[in-house]
């Protein structure tokens, strides 16, 4: 019988073999890159569009600002859709390296949130998807900065998908759909700068509705960061 004394050595050989058979490639153009999840510099700089998003006037009373890191088309869309709808996690490492690159150009001037809160999915949908994609996208990156992640919000009812709805329909669809997970979160949210995270920003209706609940619970301010948006 062969004794396997060093599991990590075996894993390392396994990784090398995997990289040899399936060399890591840029998610956008397919060029070979050094490590899994890596991008070629040209595609990365083309995909990065870190910007402050314009807010609808009715959202400015609950949101202090909203940011997107990329455009919601092309490669980011292709990485995000399988994660959301097909339970495929293979695009996650490319999304994570995209966020690290965004981090370097995000002008946050020392701003730090007191707490990070993801936009929640309805429990049934989260189960169906095998998790909340927003959590898969952001949690590791933000907690690595020492920030406190709290699932402080829940979606209290199933809502129709926002895509395909008009701006007015989106507001109606999402109205009253969120609440604090339970009253114990009031203490965590009150007086804090809250960083609200979501995968996509379209009209901002969902994010503003979440921000409204957080401000009602006493949040000092709510700032939103989103992976991608089709807004310029």
User: Contact positions toward Zn ion, by CB under 5 A?
Assistant: 26, 28-29, 31, 40, 43
Among residues 16 and 42, whose Cβ is nearest to Zn ion? 42
Among residues 42 and 112, whose Cβ is nearest to Zn ion? 42
Distance of CA 168 to the CA centre of its chain: 25
Among residues 30 and 131, whose Cβ is nearest to Zn ion? 30
Among residues 26 and 205, whose Cβ is nearest to Zn ion? 26
Smallest gap from Cβ 137 to Zn ion, in A, equals 20
Distance of CA 208 to the CA centre of its chain: 16
Among residues 29 and 190, whose Cβ is nearest to Zn ion? 29
Listed as own residue / partner, the contacts of 164-172 with beta carbons closer than 8 Å and 24 or more positions apart are 167/203, 167/205, 170/202, 170/203, 170/205, 170/206, 171/203, 171/205
Smallest gap from Cβ 93 to Zn ion, in A, equals 15
Smallest gap from Cβ 45 to Zn ion, in A, equals 10
Smallest gap from Cβ 41 to Zn ion, in A, equals 8
3-state SS, 151-203, equals CCEEECCCCCCCCCCCHHHHHHHHCCCEEECCCHHHHHHCCCEEEEEEEEECC
Smallest gap from Cβ 75 to Zn ion, in A, equals 8
> In this structure, are residues 71 and 57 in contact, taking their beta carbons and an 8 Å threshold?
no
């Amino acid at each position: 019988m062969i004794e396997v004394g060093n599991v990590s050595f075996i894993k390392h050989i396994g990784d090398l073999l995997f990289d040899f058979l399936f060399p890591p490639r840029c998610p956008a153009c397919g060029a070979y890159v050094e490590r899994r999840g890596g991008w070629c510099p040209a595609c990365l700089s083309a995909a990065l569009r870190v910007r402050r998003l314009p807010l609808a006037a009715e959202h400015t009373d609950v949101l202090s600002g909203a940011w997107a890191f990329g455009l919601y088309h092309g490669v980011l869309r292709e990485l995000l859709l399988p994660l959301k709808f097909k339970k495929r996690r293979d695009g996650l490492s490319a999304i994570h390296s995209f966020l690290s690159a965004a981090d370097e150009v995000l002008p946050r001037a020392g701003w730090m949130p007191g707490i990070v809160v993801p936009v929640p999915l309805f429990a049934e949908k989260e189960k169906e998807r095998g998790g909340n994609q927003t959590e898969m996208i952001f949690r590791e990156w933000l907690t690595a900065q020492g920030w406190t992640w709290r699932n402080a919000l829940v979606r209290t009812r199933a809502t129709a998908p926002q895509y395909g709805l008009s701006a007015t329909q989106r507001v109606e669809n999402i109205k009253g759909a969120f609440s604090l997970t339970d009253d114990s979160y009031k203490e965590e949210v009150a007086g804090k700068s809250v960083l609200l995270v979501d995968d996509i920003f379209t009209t901002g209706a969902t994010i503003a509705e979440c921000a409204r609940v957080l401000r009602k619970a006493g949040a000092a301010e709510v700032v939103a960061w989103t992976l991608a948006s089709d807004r310029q």
